[in-house]
Amino acid sequence: MTFKITDAVTWVGKRDWELKRFHGEEYSTHKGSTYNAYLVRDQKTALIETVWAPFAGEFIEQLKAEVDLKTIDYVIANHAESDHSGGLPELMKLIPGVPVYCTANGVKSLRGHYHQDWNFQVVKTGQRLSLGSRELIFIEAPMLHWPDTMFDYLTGEDILFSNDAFGHHLATEGMYNDLADPCALEAECIKYYANILTPFSALVKRKIEEFASLNLPLKMICPSHGTIWRENPMQIVSKYLEWSNNYQENQVSIVYDTMWNGTRRMAEAMAEGLAQSDPALRVRLFNAGKADKNDIVTEIFRSKAVLVGSPTINKGYLSSLGGLLEMVRGLGFKNKKAAAFGAYGWSGESVKLLTAQLKECGFEVPAASDAGIRAMWNPDADALEQCRAFGLEFGKSL
Ligand code: FEO
């Protein structure tokens, strides 16, 4: 159901309460999501974004109930990823010829996805589109998080349409940040940043500074996922500045997988040693074979260091760690330390291989921890004491 945000702006998107996976199977969305589209009505009418393709039919029906489609003068496509552009093919069949405003990279992406030659109008940062008494100002935002991404600012209403930036995968009926469960909102925002925006942190900072330099008043931020930032919209901007600056809390995450509980027991002993190193340190353990990988990535993002453990299997380490570390490598976390550990029976390669992979991921492995720690078979009391000592020394080195 649509709702009015201001007299001129109406939300015409889709709440997806059932969504559990996003980007294929790559990203977990425990609390669903929304695909936000906005209708701006002045003397001219502009539609900003559509919805994910499975909901295109519902979207069109809802839009028809809200507005005569023939009165839509402009379509604004801020980003070609199909969770926002998926409604375009069906919509453009009904309003062929209506100009589609996007960046030059947006044309490439939209053509690449849909193989249609819509009436593309390429825009650049600072270009304005008059709607009558209000204007849309376009702001290119390449690599936040695709090359085609752009934001729009609506004068007169002082609203920034920020596309994916400042978004979060959280389905809510009350679509404003002040109506959302604050814990769920914070958790989904940091997860979204950690898992999607981390590689582009330098650009996040630069884009925020660029927007600030325009000195535009800001009443609301309308992202393309999740709630609208109505109450103190600068709070999420401040968070982004914090997160984009090599973020870390006083936390160490221990991420492991285990076959017969030897590596788990090592992890738990190291957690005890870490906790002794600093009474204020938050230590969290995750079995990578059981915990959600995106939740683990979020906890690594929060951490100043990570201990990663696996027993040796087939001269390597367990596949849950392999998949997770590939995600972490791509995200490129900075300013975090790491070390490896694991139980083994005979050849025992896992720790050496994990250490090499942690370095490949960009973690600093302190010289004293470079060899990691191994325990043969099921760790006995002496081996567990060595793990405690390793955790203590590693903790002191942070
Ligand atoms: Fe929400 Fe990059 O799509």
Distance 225 CA to ligand 1 centre (A): 8
Neighbours of 16 (CB within 10 A): 21
Residue 219: the pLDDT is 98
Tell whether ligand 1 has an atom less than 6 A from the beta carbon of residue 169.
Answer: no
d(CA 308, CA 258): 11
Atom of ligand 1 nearest to the CA of 196: 2
370 by DSSP, 3-state: which? coil
Nearest CA to ligand 1 atom 3: 81
Tell whether ligand 1 has an atom less than 6 A from the beta carbon of residue 49.
Answer: no
d(CA 202, CA 295): 23
Residue 338: the pLDDT is 98
Long-range contacts of 198-201 (CB under 8 A, 24+ apart): 198/301, 198/331, 198/332, 198/333, 199/330, 199/331, 199/332, 200/143, 200/144, 200/145, 201/243, 201/244, 201/245, 201/246
Over its length of 398 residues, how does the chain's per-residue pLDDT go in tens digits? 999 999 999 999 999 999 999 999 999 999 999 999 999 999 999 999 999 999 999 999 999 999 999 999 999 999 999 999 999 999 999 999 999 999 999 999 999 999 999 999 999 999 999 999 999 999 999 999 999 999 999 999 999 999 999 999 999 999 999 999 999 999 999 999 999 999 999 999 999 999 999 999 999 999 999 999 999 999 999 999 999 999 999 999 999 999 999 999 999 999 999 999 999 999 999 999 999 999 999 999 999 999 999 999 999 999 999 999 999 999 999 999 999 999 999 999 999 999 999 999 999 999 999 999 999 999 999 999 999 999 999 999 99
Radius of gyration of the chain (CA): 24
Give the largest Cα separation in the chain, rounded: 78
Q: pTM of the full predicted structure?
A: 0.97
Tell whether ligand 1 has an atom less than 6 A from the beta carbon of residue 152.
Answer: no
Residue 248: the pLDDT is 97
Q: What token pair was written down for 33?
A: 């999501």
Query: Where are the alpha helices (H) located in the chain, listed in sequence order?
Result: 56-66, 82-85, 88-94, 104-114, 182-192, 201-213, 234-243, 262-277, 293-302, 319-331, 350-360, 381-396
d(CA 256, CA 286): 6
- Name the residues annotated as catalytic: 23, 79, 81, 83, 145, 164, 192, 225
3-state secondary structure 337-366: EEEEEEEECCCCCHHHHHHHHHHHCCCECC
Residue 29: the pLDDT is 98
Nearest CA to ligand 1 atom 2: 81
Residue 229: the pLDDT is 98
